[in-house]
Each structure stands twice: as structure tokens, then as C-alpha cells.
Amino acid sequence: MAKEEAEMLTVELTKKWMELFYDEIDKNKAYLSELDTPIGDGDHGNNMKRGVTGVKEGLAKLKEPDLKATLQAIAMALISKVGGASGPLYGTAFLEMAKKCNETQKPEELFTVALEGIKKRGGAKEGDKTMVDVWAPIVKTFSDGSFSKEEIKKAVESTKDMEARKGRASYLGERSIGHLDPGAMSSGYLFETFIDAGGTK
Amino acid sequence: MAKEEAEMLTVELTKKWMELFYDEIDKNKAYLSELDTPIGDGDHGNNMKRGVTGVKEGLAKLKEPDLKATLQAIAMALISKVGGASGPLYGTAFLEMAKKCNETQKPEELFTVALEGIKKRGGAKEGDKTMVDVWAPIVKTFSDGSFSKEEIKKAVESTKDMEARKGRASYLGERSIGHLDPGAMSSGYLFETFIDAGGTK
Amino acid sequence: MKQMKKIINSPQDVVPEMVDGLVRSYPEYLERIPDTEAVVRSDKASMKGKVGIVSGGGSGHEPAHAGFVGKGMLSAAVCGQVFTSPTPDQIYKAIQAVDQGKGVFLVIKNYSGDVMNFEMAKDMADVDGIKVKSIIVDDDIAVENSLYTQGKRGVAGTVIMHKLVGAAADQGASLDELEELAKNALPHISTLAVALSAATVPEVGKPGFELADDEIEYGVGIHSEPGYRREKIKTSKKLVGELITKLDEQQHLDPEKQYAVLVNGMGATPLMEQYIFSHDVLDKLAEKKIKPAFMKVGNYMTSIDMAGISLTIFELTDKKWLEYLNYSVETVGW
Amino acid sequence: MKQMKKIINSPQDVVPEMVDGLVRSYPEYLERIPDTEAVVRSDKASMKGKVGIVSGGGSGHEPAHAGFVGKGMLSAAVCGQVFTSPTPDQIYKAIQAVDQGKGVFLVIKNYSGDVMNFEMAKDMADVDGIKVKSIIVDDDIAVENSLYTQGKRGVAGTVIMHKLVGAAADQGASLDELEELAKNALPHISTLAVALSAATVPEVGKPGFELADDEIEYGVGIHSEPGYRREKIKTSKKLVGELITKLDEQQHLDPEKQYAVLVNGMGATPLMEQYIFSHDVLDKLAEKKIKPAFMKVGNYMTSIDMAGISLTIFELTDKKWLEYLNYSVETVGW
Ligand SMILES: Nc1ncnc2c1ncn2[C@@H]1O[C@H](COP(=O)(O)OP(=O)(O)O)[C@@H](O)[C@H]1O
Ligand SMILES: Nc1ncnc2c1ncn2[C@@H]1O[C@H](COP(=O)(O)OP(=O)(O)O)[C@@H](O)[C@H]1O
Ligand SMILES: [Mg+2]
Ligand SMILES: [Mg+2]
Ligand SMILES: [Mg+2]
Ligand SMILES: [Mg+2]
């Protein structure tokens, strides 16, 4: 596990990141919906695809934006295109980052406020089998420098054995055990593409 | 083909006839509905079964009836229980017989007025692929004394190659060719059980 | 062949239980005529001094016909066995129950069974001295008209007829006026359907016909009577295109004229699909520079659990007719 | 697995085409809010000086929610993607479109997505100075309530809530009064469903779950969320027995109390079956010496083409509530 320091967030990095995120979601749309079928309503891939398409269009419209405008555009696209549970959560995450980014561009600090936003918006805690179970451990990896694809995969995998207590999967109770959480998976893609975009030195 | 003269219609003969008709319909309920499926709506067996059940109940309620009351009870039961196209037709047939039976008890004369009633009620002519294609030739057999099960079967069979011009089967046009008409079949049972009940010497 | 899967008790009890459920769920509108499967308005005052309107037919077309009983529409409806005309004695009782001395008008769908049973009921009422007139609705253009056959079938357009004569009767029209209204309107009402699956009559237990998973049939009747063509399933736009082309041949759609449109679900077709279909109908009519003066979308004349849809176009050659369509009613189904 | 067979064009266009079809079919009631999939009353005068009522959610529940927009009921409804909550910007536009300075009341079904998106819209309206209050409907007793989970789902009882707050708002109730009304009524509304088949989301193309030809499932949600038990199909009487037993455990049905009953078809269940089911509901309640003070049967909160039915029982502890239920409305769906 490579111990690497994270890059500061810039407009270029963010744009590259969103391009790669688009590709990853596009590639895995069916898989995300499949994950959402046994424990949800089978639309997470479609929802996210609408979202990243909106992000692409939103960013294309911006002329020489600063980081705040960039993050805000991402947030608004996600909020207005995704719908469902994941839309407000991803949207809030980027909105919180936009609010904070004039103060700091350190990924760990921005992801920390994003995670707080997600928790506040959705009320989920760690262990509830949601995207929080990827965001929370990953944010922690920044402090000990263990942020990496391995850690991301581990976090995503960890949702498999959990019993859902938030979102649609919670209606299944115990029967939700044994399935990966789709929102955890898409959050995994988000962090992986951050790495691929050069988010670590 | 035995040349036999028909018995006069009596209360006893009529009752016996209706008992046998009940049994025949009961036994062939599914078959009649099956015949009604390719060229109708698949309910002729059910319709007739409701009818003969009503006839049985209606006759059981009569105390020492005369022939007119007997035929009238049969007519009312058929009219009020069968529904569909066959109900008014069979009902009218027996109603016309009831009207005429104080004047004559000769089967050929009673069946003649019955046939006229059916034709008037339904507007069908011979060759339209309906029960008329059994009633019309059978009524004729009385004059030359050829009334028999063979003639009944022949009449029923004759509907197979006809193209329907009345009733639901008419919506099929040419596609109705090749199927027996269900109302012709049940009329065949009516005449056959008349023979079995002793309607011929 | 798929097994029948229905929320019922015994197939034989479908009609009495259904009528009972309907009437007891809506006592403010409906009452059962004793010893019958016929339903009459509970608001008797609304019938005072007016011509009674009676319709009915086989069951399986819910909300037709009993769901259209109420102030401003039908006075009574007679429910036959599933897909089987009601019997004359029941129709006769309904006629008696609604007659106010002004006569009774019957709305009959053009099937041999219905026509004969209603006619026998009319004969019975004649003996009583009740004046009875009637219209035989035959709006389904899937079937060729001909003097030598039963002719066209009565389908969703029947509900339009209920609405017209119901509104006129409520406004005090006489029996003769109702007959004239019905006769005038009838040739302007045309309907055509497309089926995605057939209905399953509970006592039969299997669908009236089989369509492949990717097949549809144009021109199917409301008792699974065969249509005029089978095809691979098409987009809603193309289905609409076919139906409107045929309806246009019949009606000669004209931007100078006014039209009412009824989009009718066959029982198992969700409103989602009906609204999409309506969107395409409106687009297609707009191409012809026609904007309906009246439109309604929903389940009105169903075929039990058939998946499919019918389109009725009614040319409003008399401006009273639009008023009648918009006239307020108190019914379960309109 | 059966292939999808639907009257649609492209699965992606289902929602915009459906909303367009609905609005253009009923211009007398409905208008589209520009650049949205949200629908608002066309009779603007009916909203004057009154608190606005906005609801909505994923599409696929037609006539909910847009079909309940009209005088006396909703002011606007926001239509999300199929089975997907609408987005906050659209909800926010609906709030803006109906606000008359008296505030806006939101009726939200209890799903994480709906709750979050409506809350974000509320935040946006706050910034504008529009007063917004809301109720989160959670009437589906199939799911155990718990502080530690999302809790119960919002299903057909939501339509009852629309009716109550819609009528009260039309009679001039303030935002606070509406909130109180909604809060008081909510715990008295309980719903339970039984499914015979699952819904097919057009973009997914296959049913949300599979039931054998002779299997039913109790407690299924309106997005094919799993229920609490699968069984061989039973008679309507027995299905009703199971649902009423569970509802009784929740509500403690009492002959001294008044009840409203909503029997709701899930989309592909014909009225024939719904009326039979209602007959059995009324029989079962009669055994408990209960006769509903209000009853309604039909498709109100559907699940696309799901075959199934839900039963809602609403205890009328306040006599105003019955008045609200009977209050006259001008909508497509009620
Ligand atoms: N309250 C919540 N807090 C955090 N994440 C949540 C919450 N509810 C749902 N999620 C996430 O959202 C994902 C589902 O998103 P999606 O399928 O797009 O929305 P919906 O459930 O409305 O269909 C879940 O897998 C889960 O990770
Ligand atoms: N106009 C008519 N004249 C004579 N017989 C007719 C006529 N219409 C229908 N029938 C007879 O009725 C039979 C169908 O009866 P049935 O299935 O009970 O009624 P329905 O067609 O209403 O379902 C046909 O097979 C035919 O013999
Ligand atoms: Mg989902
Ligand atoms: Mg038949
Ligand atoms: Mg029949
Ligand atoms: Mg969803």
C-alpha cells in the first residue's frame, strides 16, 4: 500500500476527475443498477448516468471558471439530474466542498466537509450500509496516508456483510446482508477516478 | 333410417325430455364452450348449463301443471338464466310452443312455431351458421317422417362448412368456416334427447 | 399457457360479489334492484319527472356499465354474467325501477345477445304500458358494416352515448328527443382498439386468444373477438398512426370540425401507457391541425384484464353535444 | 423471464411524454410548469389567497400525483423519473408557482430520496422567504417502524392525505393549521398491500421480482419493495382476512369508531377484482360490526403494471375529516 500525499484540488484536476468519473459510471451503469436490484429499486446506474451526463454538460458551459464555480456546477448538475436518494447526497457533498474551497484546497479537508454534508442530509451513520461506509473510512485514510485503491475496495466490500438501516435496502432488514451497497460502489468509483485523475502525488 | 311417427307432446314426455336434456348439457358443458371458443366467446356451455339448471328448478316448483304451464316454465327459466344470444332464442322457442299447445300437441306443429319464433327473434336464415341450421331441416323431417338422430347429426355437421353471418361468429367472416356452431350442437342435443325421452313411437 | 391468477373467490360468484362490492362501496350513488344483478341510482329524486336511461350488458367491462349510474348519466344498469348479455327479466325490472311515466331509453351494444335480450325486455315493458325506445351502439370500425351480418360491435363509444343521453335526460329531454339525439350522434362516433394480450374470463380460466410476447393485434373486440391484423409490437407513435389512419378513413378528419376524444384502457394497461398514447394521439391530430374540444383518458369500457387500448373519435357536429359531454355528473366511473 | 410489452416509445421518454399527454388531455385542470416535469392547476383563481399544496415523487404511480392536482386538492405535483424522486430544483419551481404569500405545504412519501429532495427544495424556498411546512406520510404497515431505520413507507394513504389537506386549504386553513391536521390524521392512516406480480420499470425492462404463477406476496411496496410473506394464491376472502388482521393489530378496529376505507388497484388489477375484494372487505368489517363512513375503490396509487391491491383504513377521530373526504374536487384522478 503506497503511502502518498494527496494533490491540492485544482480546476484541472477536478475536470479530469469528472471526465474519468463519467467514463467509469458509463461503463458500469448496468452493474450499478444490478447491484440496486436485489436490495433497492434497480435504478442507481440510470440515476448516476443522468448525473454525470449533467455534470459534463454543466462543466462544458463554464468559461474559465474558478474552483468554487466548478464544484458548484458539479453540485447543481448532480442535484438537478440524479434524483432519488443519491442525487441530494452527492449534490450536497459537492456543495459543501464548494463552500469550503476558498479556504482550503486540501482534498482531505474538502472530503471531510463533504462527508459531514452527506451524514447530515441522509442521517446515516457508519455501519448503516450506505455510501457513508465508503466516505467515512476513506476520509480517514488521508490522515495516515493510506488513501489508495486497495483501501477503497476494502471499504466498498465492507458493505457486503452489513445490514441496511437507511435507504430502500433497509426494508429488507437481514435479507440485505450479502449484497454490496450500490451507492458505496459508485462512491468507490468516485474516489478511484480521483486517484486516476492524479489526485495523489 | 327408421320412419317413425312422433308422439303427442305431454307433460310427462316434456319432463322426461328436460331431464335428459339436463344430463346431456351437463355432460357436454365443456365441449359446448370449447366449440364456442374459436368462433365465439367460449361461454355457450356455461350459459346452457345455467339454463337447464333453471329449467330443473322451475319444473320442480310446479304442482300438477298442464302442458302450457310446463312449457311456459321452461321458457321463463331459459329466458331468465341463459342470457347471451342463446337464451332469448331457446326461450322464445318454448314460449311460442306454450302459446300454441292448447291448439295442438303435435311436435312438428309446435316445433314449427318454435322455429318461427327463433327466426323472428334472431333474424337468422338457413345457411347463416346458427341453431336455425338444425331447427329448420329437423322441422322438415317430420313431414316426410325422417326425423331421427342421423338427420340431427347431419344438420349439426352441416354448420361446419358454413360462413357465419349472425352472432359473434360472424365477426370472423371466412375464418368461421371449419368449425361446428355451438348453438347448432346444443340444439342437436335438444332434439336427440327428445327422441330418447320417447318423442317418437 | 399461463395459469389464471385473480383476486376472486369462486368463478361462479364473480358477478354477484362484484355487484355487491360496488353497490356497498358507493351507497351514496348506487343501490341494487332486489333479486337482480341490476344497479339503480340511490338518489331517486334525481330521476323524478325524467326519462329513465337504462344500459347494461355482459360483465367484465367495469366501470361500464354500473359505474356510470348516477345523476346526469344512467338511471340503471343491468350486469350480465361475464361477457354474456343480461336476461330480459332483469332488464325489465330495471326498466320498471326507473320509469317515471316519461318512458325509458335503452342504450344497447350491438351484439346478438344484447339486442335480443333488451328487445324481449322491451316487449315485456310494452305489455305494462311503459314506453321504451332504444339505440344500438355500433362504434367499432374494426368490423365491416353489412346488412347481411350482425354488423359493427358496440365498444367504448357506448360510454359517450351514455353521457349524451344521460345529460340530455337530466335536462328534461323527452323520449323522442333522446332517440333523435342518439340517432344523430351515433354515426359520428368511431372506435378502434389494439390489444397486447387477451382477457381471461374467470369461468374459462385461460386467455381468449394467445399473442406472442412481441405481438399485438389491431381491431380486437372487448370480448376478445379477433381483430384485423397481427404485427410485431410497435412504438406508441406507430400504434396511434395505424388507429388514426383507419379512423380518418371513416371520419374524414377535418381541421374545420370539432372533435371529442376518448382514450380507453382495456383493464390491465397502466395510466402511464395511456398518457403516453394520448400524447401521441394529440401530436398526430395536431399534424392534421386538430385540437380536441374534449378529451378523456382512463379505464371506461374495459375487457377484464386485457392489456390494450382503444381510441374513440367523436365528431361534434352539434354544439349541444359538447355541453352534454361537459355536463356535471355524480357517478363512480365517469 | 417475460419480455416487456408496453405502449411506449423510448423508455427514456416515458416521463416527459406521459406528463405531456396528461396535461394536454386535461387543459381544463392542468398546466405544465415551464422547463419542468411538474404540473400545476390551470385554474389559478382557485389558488388565490390560499396555502399551496405540493406533492410528487417518482413516476409510475399514476394517477398519483399529478392526477390529484385541481381545485380542492393539490396545487401542484412534481413528477420524477420512474420510481425516482424528483429533484429539488423542480420541487422548488413548483413551490414558487403555487405560493400566494400564505406558504406552501408539502406532502412527501417516506423514502430517503423523496425526503432529501423535498427538504433541499424547502431549503431553497427558505432563502426566498417562502414559508414551507410538510408532512412525511408513512402509512405502509408492512414495514416495522423504528428510529434506527428509514421507517415505514408512504403508499396509498398519501392520497387520503392529499384529500384532507387539499380540502382544508381550499376552505382557507393556514399553513400551521394544515400541519396540525396532517400530523393528527397521519397516525390513523394504515395501508397494507398484496401483490400478484411485480412492476416492470421501462428502463429496466423486466419485473422487479418474480412470483410463481400461483404465488402472491403480502406487504409489497409500491416500488416492488419486498413484502413480509409469500404464499400460494388464496381466495379474495382469505387475502382480505390476512390484510384486515394485520391492520386490526395496528388500528384496534372498534365498532364505536368511524372509518374511511380506500381499496387501491396497483395498475394491472381490473375493477372486477377490486370490487370483489371490496365485497370481502365490507363483509369482514361487518363481522366486526363496522360499516365504513366513506369508501373508495379504484386505481389511485399504482405501481406501473403491478397486479395487486392495497387496503387503507383511516380512523376518523375528527368529524371534520369525513367532511374533507367528501369535499368536492376538480381533478382527473379522485
Ligand atoms: N440516508 C442515506 N444516507 C446515505 N446514503 C444513502 C441514504 N439513503 C440511500 N443512500 C445511498 O443511496 C444509494 C441508492 O441510490 P439510488 O438508487 O440512486 O436512489 P433510490 O434509493 O432513491 O433509488 C444507496 O445504495 C445508498 O448508498
Ligand atoms: N341471430 C341469431 N339467430 C339464431 N341463432 C343465433 C343468433 N345469434 C347467435 N345464435 C346462436 O347462439 C349461439 C351462441 O350462444 P351463446 O354462446 O350462448 O351466446 P353468446 O354468443 O351471446 O355468447 C350460436 O352458436 C348460434 O347458434
Ligand atoms: Mg435506487
Ligand atoms: Mg358465447
Ligand atoms: Mg357470451
Ligand atoms: Mg429510485
Q: Report strand pairing: D132-137 vs D104-109.
A: parallel
Mean pLDDT of chain D: 96
Please give the Cα distance from C140 to C130 (Å, whole number).
31
Residue pair D31/D40 in contact (Cβ under 8 Å)? The answer is: yes
The answer to whether residue D331 sits within a structural domain is no
DSSP C85: P
Please indicate, yes or no, whether residues C174 and C228 belong to a single structural domain of this protein: no
Check if the beta carbon of residue C210 is closer than 8 Å to that of residue C1. Answer: yes
In total, how many domains does chain B have?
Answer: 1
- Pair (D37, D100) in one structural domain: yes
Domain contains B140: yes
Per-residue pLDDT, averaged over D169-188, amounts to 98
Which residue from D9, D20, D197 is facing C236, i.e. has the nearest CB? Answer: D9
Same domain membership, residue D225 and residue D96: no
Helices C88-98 and B67-81 pack at an angle, to 10 degrees, of 80
Cβ of C85 under 8 Å from any chain B Cβ?
A: yes
**Using an 8 Å Cβ cutoff, are D294 and D139 in contact?**
no
Which of C83, C85, C112, C116 should be mutated for ligand 2, with most atoms under 8 A from CB? Answer: C112
SS3 content of chain D, % helix, strand, coil (to 5): 35, 25, 40
A44 lines ligand 1 (CB under 6 A): yes
CATH, residue B191 = 1.25.40.340
Residue D2 located in a structural domain: no
Please name the residues in contact with D13: beta carbons below 8 A apart, sequence gap of 6 or more.
none
Contacts of B51 (CB under 8 A, 6+ apart): B25, B77, B78, B81, B82, B86, B87, B90
**pLDDT for D58-69, tens place per residue?**
999 999 999 999
Same domain, C305 and C236: yes
Q: How confident is the model at residue A167 (pLDDT cuts 50, 70, 90)?
A: confident
D280 CB neighbours in chain C (<8 A) are 9, 17, 21
Catalytic residue among D65, D188, D223, D279: D223
The reported pLDDT for the residue numbered C15 is 98
CA-based R_g, chain A, Å: 16
Q: Report the CATH number that the domain containing residue D137 is assigned in CATH.
A: 3.40.50.10440
How far is the centre of ligand 2, averaged over its atoms, from the C-alpha of C109 (Å)?
Answer: 15
Q: In the structure, what pLDDT confidence band is assigned to residue A1 with cuts at 50, 70 and 90? A: very low
Q: Read off the pLDDT of residues D225-271 as tens digits, 9 standing for 90 and up.
A: 889 999 999 999 999 999 999 999 999 999 999 999 999 999 999 99
Query: Dihedral of the CA atoms C46, C47, C53, C57 (nearest 10)?
Result: 70
Interface touch D85/A121, C-beta < 8 Å: no
* D249 CB-contact burial (10 Å; exposed 0-12 / middle 13-18 / buried 19+): exposed
Q: Which set of grid coordinates corresponds to residue A201?
A: 502525488
Q: What cell was used for B92?
A: 322464445
Shortest Cα–Cα distance, A181 to chain D (Å): 15
Determine the residue type at B133.
Answer: D
In a domain, B3, yes or no: no
Residues D126 and D201 in one domain: no
Q: How many domains does chain D fold into?
A: 2
Is residue C15 located within the same domain as residue C138?
yes
Domain boundary among C168, C187, C206: C187
pLDDT digits (tens, 9 = 90+) for D213-234: 999 999 999 998 889 999 999 9
Of B65 and A133, more confident: A133
> In one letter, which amino acid is C251?
Q
> Percent of chain C beyond pLDDT 70?
98
- Sequence-ordered alpha helix ranges (H) in chain A: 11-39, 44-61, 67-81, 86-100, 107-122, 132-143, 149-158, 182-194
d(CA C144, CA B34) in angstroms, rounded, equals 26
Residue D105 has pLDDT above 90, yes or no: yes
Distance from CA of D93 to the nearest CA of A (A): 12
CA–CA dist B86, C111 (Å, integer): 12
A50 within ligand 1 shell (Cβ under 6 A)? no
Is the distance from CB of B177 to CB of B161 less than 8 angstroms? Answer: yes
Residues C32 and C91 placed together within one structural domain of the fold: yes
Cα–Cα distance, B200 to B148 (Å, whole number)? 9
User: If DSSP codes are grouped into helix, strand and coil, which group holds residue B54?
Assistant: helix
Helix (H, G, I), strand (E, B) or coil at B63: coil
Question: What's the rounded Cα separation, in Å, for the pair A148 and B150?
Answer: 93
- Among D187, D207, D239, residue at a domain's last position: D187
Instruction: Take residue C56 and report the three cell numbers written for it.
Output: 347494461
Element (H, E) at C38: strand C38-41
Indicate whether C126 belongs to any domain. Answer: yes
Is any Cβ of chain D less than 8 angstroms from the Cβ of C214?
yes
User: What phi, psi does A197 have (nearest 5°)?
Assistant: -75, -5
Question: In chain D, where do the E strands start and end?
Answer: 30-32, 38-41, 52-59, 76-82, 104-109, 132-137, 189-195, 215-218, 229-232, 259-265, 294-298, 308-315
**Is D108 contained in some domain?**
yes
**C17 vs D: CB within 8 A:** yes
Q: What pLDDT digit, counting tens, does each position of A75-120 carry?
A: 999 999 999 999 999 999 999 999 999 999 999 999 999 999 999 9
The predicted pLDDT at position D145 comes to: 66
Residues D180 and D42 in one domain: yes
CATH number assigned to the domain comprising residue C202:
3.30.1180.20
Q: Tell me how far apart the alpha carbons of residues D275 and D130 are, in angstroms, rounded to a whole number.
A: 44
Residues D215, D178 share a domain: no
Spatial distance between the Cα atoms of B186 and B29, rounded to a whole number of angstroms: 10
Predicted local confidence at residue B2, as pLDDT = 46
CA distance A121 to A111: 15
How many A from CA of C210 to the centre of ligand 1? 41
What integer is the mean pLDDT of B64-77?
95
Residue B143 burial class via C-beta count within 10 angstroms: exposed 0-12, middle 13-18, buried 19 and up: exposed
Is A65 a domain residue?
yes
By residue range, what is the domain housing residue A18?
11-199
User: Where residue D147 falls among pLDDT bands split at 50, 70, 90?
Assistant: low
* Bridge partners for D136 per DSSP: D108
CB-based contacts of B60: which residues, under 8 Å, 6+ apart?
none
Q: Which residue of D has its CA nearest to C297?
A: D25
**CB contact set of D74 (below 8 Å; sequence gap of 6+):** D41, D53, D54, D55, D65, D68, D107, D162, D166, D331
- Name the pLDDT band for B1 (thresholds 50, 70, 90): very low
> By mean pLDDT, which of B19-33, B168-182, D142-156 is the weakest?
D142-156
Q: Is A in contact with C (3 or more beta carbon pairs below 8 Å)?
A: no
Per the domain annotation, does D333 fall within a domain? no
Residues in chain C, total: 334
A186 lines ligand 1 (CB under 6 A): no
Q: Which residues in C lie closer than 8 A to residue B47 (C-beta atoms)? A: 81, 84
Question: What's the mean pLDDT in B58-81?
Answer: 95
Q: Count of H helices and E strands in chain C? A: 8, 12
- Residue A5, domain member (yes or no): no
Cell numbers given for A77? 448538475
**Cβ-defined contact of D213 to C5 (cutoff 8 Å):** yes
Span A161-189, average pLDDT: 93
Put simply, the answer to whether C85 touches B85 (Cβ < 8 Å) is yes
Instruction: Report percent pLDDT > 90 for chain D.
Output: 93
- The three cell numbers locating residue D78: 412534481
Q: Measured in angstroms, how far is the CA atom of residue B115 from the centroid of ligand 4?
A: 20
Query: Do C261 and C312 have their domain in common?
Result: yes
Task: Identify the domain containing residue D264 by its residue range.
Answer: 188-326
Give the H or E element holding residue C160: helix C157-170
DSSP string over C214-236: TEEEET--TT----SEEEE---H
Contact (Cβ atoms closer than 8 angstroms) between residue D122 and residue A96: no
B68 domain-assigned: yes
Look at D204 and A168 and tell me if their CB atoms are within 8 Å.
no
Residue that has been written with the C-alpha cell 394513504 in this structure: D157
Residues 64 through 93 of chain A touching chain D, CB cutoff 8 Å:
76, 79-89, 91-92
* D272-318 confidence digits (pLDDT tens): 999 999 999 999 999 999 999 999 999 999 999 999 999 999 999 99
The pLDDT tens digits for D77-86 are 999 999 999 9
Q: Which of C65, C162, C188, C223 is catalytic?
A: C223
Residue B64 in grid coordinates: 300438477
Q: Which of D61, D65, D162, D188 is catalytic?
A: D61
pLDDT band at D2 (very low <50, low <70, confident <90, very high): low
Do residues D313 and D253 touch, judged by C-beta distance below 8 A? yes
The reported pTM is: 0.94
What is the identity of the amino acid at D222? I
Chain A CB contacts of D208 under 8 Å are: 37, 41-42
Average pLDDT taken over every residue of chain C: 96
CA distance C2 to C205: 9
Residue (of C249, C295, C252) closest to C274 by Cα position = C295
Q: What's the CA gap between B118 and C124, in Å, rounded?
A: 17
C220 and C128 inside one domain = no
In terms of domains, do C101 and C128 share one? yes
Q: What is the pLDDT of residue D148?
A: 64
DSSP D150-167: --SBP-THHHHHHHHHHH
Q: How far apart are the C-alpha atoms of C144 and C152, rounded to whole Å?
A: 6
Closest-CA residue in chain B for C92? B80
Q: Is D65 a catalytic residue?
A: no
Q: E strand or H helix at C57, and its extent?
A: strand C52-59
Residue B84 maps to a domain: yes
- Rounded Cα distance between C225 and C248, Å, is 23
Of C166, C187, C208, which residue sits at a domain end?
A: C187
With CA atoms as reference, report the closest residue to D214 among D185, D235, D200: D235
Q: What is the pLDDT of residue D259?
A: 98
Residue D334 in any domain: the answer is no
How is residue D5 written as a grid cell?
A: 410489452
The answer to whether D136 touches D208, Cβ cutoff 8 Å, is: no
| C223 given a catalytic annotation | yes
Least confident of C19-33, C137-151, D148-162, D295-309: C137-151
Lowest mean pLDDT segment, chosen from B122-126, C224-228, D7-11: C224-228
Judged by a CB distance cut-off of 8 A, whether residue D11 touches chain A is no
**With 50 as the cut, is the pLDDT of residue A2 above it?**
no
User: What pLDDT, in 10s, does the model give residues B115-124?
Assistant: 999 999 999 9
Whether the Cβ atoms of residue D109 and residue D150 lie closer than 8 Å to each other:
no
Edge to edge, the sheet with strand C229-232 lists C229-232, C215-218, C189-195, C308-315, C259-265, C294-298
Nearest to A168 by CA among D324, D247, D149, D217: D149
Does an interface of 3+ CB pairs under 8 Å exist between D and C?
yes
